[in-house]
Amino acid sequence: MRDRTLIHTLPFSQGRELSTLVENRRAFTLDSLELNIYETYRVSEYVPLRFDDLVMINMIQGKKIMHLDHMKAFDYLPGQMIVLPAMVGMHIDFPEATLEQPTQCSALTIRKEKIEAVLDYLNEFYPKEQLDRWHIDPELFHLYNSNELAELVNKLFQIIISENPLKDVLADLTFKELTIRLLQSQSLMALKVGKSPNKVLVHLQEFIRRNITEKISIDLLEKAAHMSKASLTRMFNRELGLSPMEYVIQQRIGKAKQLLLLTRNVKESCFGAGFNDVNYFVRLFKNRVGITPGAFVLAQ
């Protein structure tokens, strides 16, 4: 079970729009963006695909097995996003596609100049801490959609497929916001997997993990980081897209999941992750993960 928001299903091909049962493609082209919608209606294996520009691929419906260059194959499911540089080769299996239950995914290709313009703007006016620069990390390519990412993707897709005469302008504004959220998601993943260059965030992550069962306040985090509340909050919001205390909650939820899998005991997992009220823990867990802690245990 993944606590990630799904991308809305897009309209499926009708009539003459359907020219093949395997990766049928429809394209909606703007100035520097192109939305490709792919549908597959029968089981297929090792279907090749490659894009000339950087691409954001979202699985919307069904299941694929992805084979990327020099990588072990992996399942690709709704709620997941892949961000790939130009010219990365891939082959795709469709183990479950049928006429009644086709797969659907989107591929948003972005001109190099467009993504570079957004990165240049952020690096000039909203630089990161620790002298690091905003950039898309090709190694952190496999993401899970946060609520914010999914909402922006849904909004952008609806703009692109609409007949609005101002859709180029509206799509440009939404794309910039989507890019910022994508970069923040990569920063959060880099911190999680030990690749973050921000030494303050790395230190705070370890501090929170060591003290996960204790009361952690914003004042305590200020002291641990040797930063003011304003500077600390700005760093978290800018680089990770969330507040320091929201990050603490995410760490507690992650710890609770680990404990639930180990102990299968809701009360023990609640207190072991630093929550002091079981009812609050159950409500918060369901809000963030989508199911109760008990249902989470049963789903594993």
CATH of the domain at 208: 1.10.10.60
Distance CA 55, CA 184 (A): 17
Nearest of 104, 43, 93, 86 to residue 67 by alpha carbon: 93
Considering the domain architecture, whether residues 95 and 21 belong to the same structural domain is answered as yes
In this structure, the answer to whether residues 41 and 140 fall within a common structural domain is: yes
Characterize the bridge pairing of strands 90-94 and 142-144.
unpaired
- β-strand pairing of 44-49 with 103-110: unpaired
- Domain check: are 70 and 189 in the same one? yes
Q: How far is residue 87's CA from residue 51's CA, in Å, rounded to a whole number?
A: 5
Domain-ending residue, one of 170, 193, 216: 193
pLDDT at 129: 76
Report the pLDDT value the prediction gives residue 5, as an integer from 0 to 100. Answer: 61
Of 193, 227, 250, which residue is a domain's last? 193
DSSP 8-class letter at 79: T
Report if residue 4 sits inside a domain: no
CATH number at residue 123: 2.60.120.280
Residue 163: count of CB within 10 angstroms of its CB = 5
Does residue 154 fall inside a structural domain? yes
pLDDT at residue 3 tops 50 = no
One domain, residues 186 and 226: no
How many domains, in total, are found in the chain?
2
- CA–CA distance, 82 with 107 (Å, rounded to integer): 9
pLDDT category, 2, cuts 50, 70, 90? very low
- How many CB atoms within 10 Å of residue 283? 12
Residue 3 within any structural domain of the chain: no
The yes-or-no verdict on residue 130 having pLDDT over 90 is: no
Q: Does a structural domain hold residue 5?
A: no
8 located within any domain = no
Q: Both 179 and 223 in a single domain?
A: no
pLDDT at residue 178 is higher than 80: yes
Chosen domain end from 177, 193, 209:
193
Residue 176 sits in the same domain as residue 50: yes
Report the percent of the chain where pLDDT is more than 70: 98
If asked whether residues 172 and 81 sit together in one domain, one would say yes
Q: What is the pLDDT of residue 1?
A: 40
Is 280 part of a structural domain of the chain?
yes
CA distance between the termini of the chain? 8
Does one domain contain both 188 and 281?
no
Q: Residues 238-277: pLDDT tens digits?
A: 999 999 999 999 999 999 999 999 999 999 999 999 999 9
Residue in the block written with tokens 């919307």:
60
Using pLDDT thresholds of 50, 70 and 90, give the confidence band for residue 213. very high
Instruction: Give me the residue label for tokens 């690749």.
Output: 195
For residues 128 and 136, what is the distance between their CA atoms, to the nearest angstrom? Answer: 14
Span 93-102, average pLDDT: 97
Q: Are residues 99 and 169 in the same domain?
A: yes
Domain range enclosing 62: 15-193
Neighbouring C-alpha atoms within 13 Å toward the C-beta of 147: 7
CA angle 36, 42, 45 (to 5 degrees): 80
pLDDT of residue 300 exceeding 90: no
Query: How confident is the model at residue 198, as a pLDDT?
Result: 94
> Looking at residues 18-22, what average pLDDT do you find?
96
- Domain co-membership, 223 together with 142: no
Do 263 and 114 share a structural domain? no
- Amino acid 34: pLDDT: 98
- The string of pLDDT tens digits covering residues 30-71 is 999 999 999 999 999 999 999 999 999 999 999 999 999 878
Q: Are the beta carbons of 96 and 102 closer than 8 angstroms? A: no
CA angle 101, 103, 109 (to 5 degrees): 160
Would 148 be classed as within a structural domain?
yes
67 lies in a domain? yes
Instruction: Examine the domain organization and report whether 177 and 203 are in the same domain.
Output: no
Give the mean pLDDT of 125-152: 88
